[in-house]
Amino acid sequence: MKNITNYLLHDLVPFIRYSVKAPKNRKIILFSLEGMLITVVNNLIANNNNLFATRLGANDYELSLVITLPQLIGMLVLIPGGILTDRMPNKRNMVIIALTSVAAFYTAIGFVPLLGLHRLQAFLLLLAISTGPMTIYNVSWQAYFSDVVEPDTRNTILTARTGLTFLVGIIISLGSGALLSAAKTINDKLWVHQIYFWTAVILLMVQAFVLKKIPDNKEHISSRIGIRDLKAALSELRSNKRFLGFIGVAIFFYVTWHMDWTLYFLGQVNYIGLNEAWLSYVSIGGAVVQFLTVGFWSRINVKWGVRFGMIFGNLGLSLFPICMIISTSIPSEYGKVVFLILNTLCNFAMATTTLNILQCLLQVIPDKNKTLNISIYTVLVTLSNAVMPLVGVSVYTALGADLQAMHMVFWIIFALRIVATGLWITRYIMLRNEPK
């Protein structure tokens, strides 16, 4: 017992204290904590927005607006946000300002159910506007991360951050789904949604505090960027073959991914019959698999490079339409369980979409006006996210808005995702002799 006590007091505790204070390890811990906080926010808010809108009276078309309108607002603020961020000596300041702004809008959204007949319109409007600062947070965070984390440690920090966010996502999905299921009436469920928004406000403030604690010894230089610089950045990117090759593959990947964002929810709720509890089980199953596999894909990144891992990420994504088609083609009493199993298995390589795409982008993005360059890329991704869910629903509606139409659209999406997988393979082969 004495030996154990001595070990704890004289060996383990000093080692932990040193490890936490070491700049590299401190960054791992704080970036992971910051990632867990934003994951809780996204699980409470973004993952439940369709349910919230449905309970406010949204139809299929209005549900597609839950995704489309916010993305359109995001597109409008990306370039100005990128310019403002690059003008700041420390990009962390913009990250914190963006989080504070999101918190203000989430506070207001919490009161939406009190607006009677106008509550759905108010929700769509405030949610769309809140996406502005959230979009700036995402793009400025990427630039800030690349500023304070050296390239040789990015995979390590992102692996730790991603793994822990998956673990937190499992817990929050289970808890939030259980709370919504336990609420008996629509008003009770709306009250739970309100609590989620106000809880998110508190977490965003804590996240801003954590960001201030991340060590940053790098000298920061602000840039005075205007229209002339934007034109120069666009011209530079047009002549950057490595960037153009990446953006072509990545945008096509996102187009095929975003096309079923609303359709997948409609399939789950309207045809498979999932309620809040089952939706949380589905989310948890996917998060568990991603948590268990993130370490494996991180090792693949080290050995084969981040471009190689993305091949399997896109291949796994291609299987989700098949999962939906199979689950809606069998007797309904088996559909839920079969969907849960297949959807969970399809997540075997989804960790790469979080772990690898950012690293692929940072490999090809010019350092000059970095945030502005990331913003230009993100505009295209956001355009896809704004348009493609609406396209998916429109095609589904044009084909008859029934189960057969749903299957036809998912077969189309499956074919497009196979093509996207082929593009990642082509890119890997063409760049196999370049740094991983």
Closest CA to 384 of 250, 251, 261, 243: 251
Q: Can you give the pLDDT at residue 347?
A: 92
pLDDT of residue 24: 61
| 90 secondary structure, DSSP code | S
- Report yes or no: 279 and 177 within 8 Å, Cβ to Cβ: yes
How much is the average pLDDT of 296-315? 90
What's the chain's Rg over C-alpha atoms? 22
Q: Where are the domains of the chain?
A: 25-215+222-430
Q: What is the pLDDT of residue 436?
A: 62
What would the two tokens of residue 314 be? 């896109």
User: Residues 311-366: pLDDT tens digits?
Assistant: 999 999 999 999 999 999 998 789 999 999 999 999 998 888 888 888 888 888 77
What are the pLDDT digits (tens) for 393-425? 999 999 999 999 999 999 999 999 999 999 999
Query: Tens digit of pLDDT for each residue in 107-162?
Result: 999 999 998 888 999 999 999 999 999 989 988 888 888 888 887 787 888 888 88
pTM for the structure as a whole: 0.71
- Higher per-residue confidence, 383 vs 342: 342
Does the domain formed by 25-215+222-430 have CATH 3.90.79.10?
no
Cα–Cα dist 10/38, whole Å: 36
- pLDDT reading at 10 higher than 50: no
Q: 211 pLDDT exceeds 70?
A: yes
- pLDDT reading at 21 higher than 80: no
